[in-house]
Amino acid sequence: MSRGSRKLVELFYDVVSPYSWLGFEVLRRYTDVWNINLKLRPAFLGGVYKGSGNRSPDNVPSKYLYMRTDLARLSAYFDVPMASPADPCNVIEKGSLVAMRFLTAVAERELGGDCRLEQISRELWMRIWSRDQDISQLASLSEAGLKLGLPGSEVEELVKLATSQSVKDKLKATTEEAVQYGAFGFPLIVCHVNGRPEIFFGSDRFELMAHCIGEKWMGPQPNKLFRCFAKIPSHRHNQTFTYRNLAMTM
CATH code for the domain in which residue 118 is found? 3.40.30.10
Q: Mind listing the pLDDT tens digit for each residue in 12-29?
A: 999 999 999 999 999 999
pLDDT score for 181: 98
Residues annotated as part of the active site: 17
Q: What is the pLDDT of residue 62?
A: 81
Q: Is residue 1 part of a domain?
A: no
Instruction: Note the pLDDT tens digit of each residue in 190-233.
Output: 999 999 999 999 999 999 999 999 999 999 999 876 554 445 45
The mean predicted confidence, pLDDT, of the chain is 89
Half-sphere exposure of 49 (CA within 13 A, CB side): 14
In a domain, 2, yes or no: no
Indicate the helix (H) or strand (E) that contains 190: strand 188-193
Range of the domain at 243: 7-249
Is the pTM above the cut of 0.95? no
pLDDT, position 55: 81
Query: Does residue 66 belong to any structural domain of this protein?
Result: yes
Total count of domains within the chain: 1
pLDDT at 73 over 50: yes
Using CA atoms, how far residue 243 sits from 22, 142, 193, 230, 250, in Å, is 21, 37, 22, 11, 11
- Mean pLDDT calculated for residue range 35-54: 96
User: Per-residue pLDDT tens for 99-144?
Assistant: 999 999 999 998 777 899 999 999 999 999 999 999 999 999 999 9
DSSP-derived 3-state class of residue 88: helix
Pick from 240, 182, 250: which is nearest to 217 by CA? Answer: 250
Residue 69 inside a domain? The answer is yes
Question: In which band, very low, low, confident or very high, does the pLDDT at 248 lie, cut at 50, 70 and 90?
Answer: low
